[in-house]
Structure 1
């Protein structure tokens, strides 16, 4: 039995969201609904629906930011819903990557028709044309994906990886790391840095053991090497 496509609907107008769910369900789509942008963003970091229906103005995190974050690691189709006509050029711009848009007020039937049309187009898009970044760092949600695998990091581990990741190939000395990562480096030392690096490497290796992202440079420090 074929599973119905899952539509992620992000809309803060509760009544409008309920109406859209009714129409989508009637067209044999599954739906998951979020009324806040930040909650939708967290869910999308761990899940990939068939399509995202995304409002522009949202509490917590606006639709433009969600769209930008999605395009860093996913090619899932996105239809933006907006009442701000002046934003349309940006919504469809290459820098954001939305697939379509609808202007409020809109017909629920029209939205469903656009969802079907965008999904038809995406099914005919060659899969090899979609390129996903092997390593995705999201500073806002403090999340890390390595070859599409979520890597759970502590706050210090995330700050450490982000520092190395910010300048691939640069060697960061232990002292530089101490000065920039630890709030009070007087109570930690080189062994603390080495210990966190060891734990970080293990987690990265668990996600993908074919590449070594963090390398030691004897007598100098550590560096990040892009895969």
Structure 2
């Protein structure tokens, strides 16, 4: 099966090897470099499997796995240094489904990934449409008139929330909860910036938005 595989690995060489092997097997690799990015990307949706390195900056793999498990049952495979038994046990106790010790054979890792993906039951695609706009959460894609629109994880999270309930008005705080920007520096005004960028991508005339509409004094909605 073709899957969206999130890889959280801060070593550029290791990350590049994994990316190439995943693409060779027909998967779509999503590459991040720390645990915070991994958690945010899973929460944005469309991830079929997560590969987490234990030792990462910002947020370690075990802590990231714990946060992922709070909201998702996506399969998680941990990468840990050889002999770090405590990391392995802690990762499994936190909710990881499997682990591979470093140094590892990429072919062995791909076999483990195939095994985990076989356990995932087939599910209906989560695709939402609002007029000419299509939001495919499973494949993490935005289409406008059938043409793919590149989006950041935050932008995708906003559009996915809006497309799930066309014509419903969301406050900025509600949309902020759907983004990857849940840190101390994020404010409700961050949403205004994302909305501005999205309008450049999906509106025929960003100065006169017809799809991503402002409801003054409240927030935003996606016109159905």
What TM-score bracket applies, with the shorter chain setting the length? Answer: 0.5 to 0.7
CA contact (8 A) 2:54 2:87 kept: no
Aligned to 1:72: 70
TM superposition shift of 1:57:
0.8
The alignment covers a number of residue pairs equal to 135
Unaligned residue ranges in structure 2 (runs of 5+): 124-156, 163-169, 178-217
1:85·1:103 contact (CA, 8 Å) conserved in 2?
no
**Relative contact order higher in (CA < 8 Å, ≥ 6 apart):** 2
Q: Is 2:30 aligned against 1:41?
A: no
Counterpart of 2:91? 91
Q: What is the rounded CA distance, in whole Å, between the counterparts of 1:44 and 1:50 in structure 2?
A: 9
Cα deviation for residue 43 of structure 1 reads 2.0
Residues of 1 paired with 2:15 and 2:41: CA distance?
A: 17
Structure 1 residues 154 and 121: CA distance shift in structure 2, 3 A: closer
Deviation at 1:122, TM superposition (A): 2.1
1:62 and 1:153, CA in 2 relative to 1: closer, same or farther beyond 3 A? Answer: farther
Contact 1:55 / 1:81 at 8 angstroms: preserved in 2? yes
Q: Find 1:15's aligned residue among 7, 13, 20.
A: 13
CA–CA distance in 2 between the matches of 1:153 and 1:42?
Answer: 18
Task: Please state how far the C-alpha of 1:85 moved relative to its aligned partner.
Answer: 2.7
TM-score for the superposition, normalised by structure 2: 0.53
Unaligned runs of 5+ in 1: 126-144, 159-201, 207-227
TM-score, length-normalised on structure 1?
0.53
SS of 2:26's equivalent in the other structure is coil
Q: Given the superposition, is the C-alpha separation of residues 5 and 152 from structure 1 closer, same or farther in structure 2, using an over 3 Å criterion?
A: farther
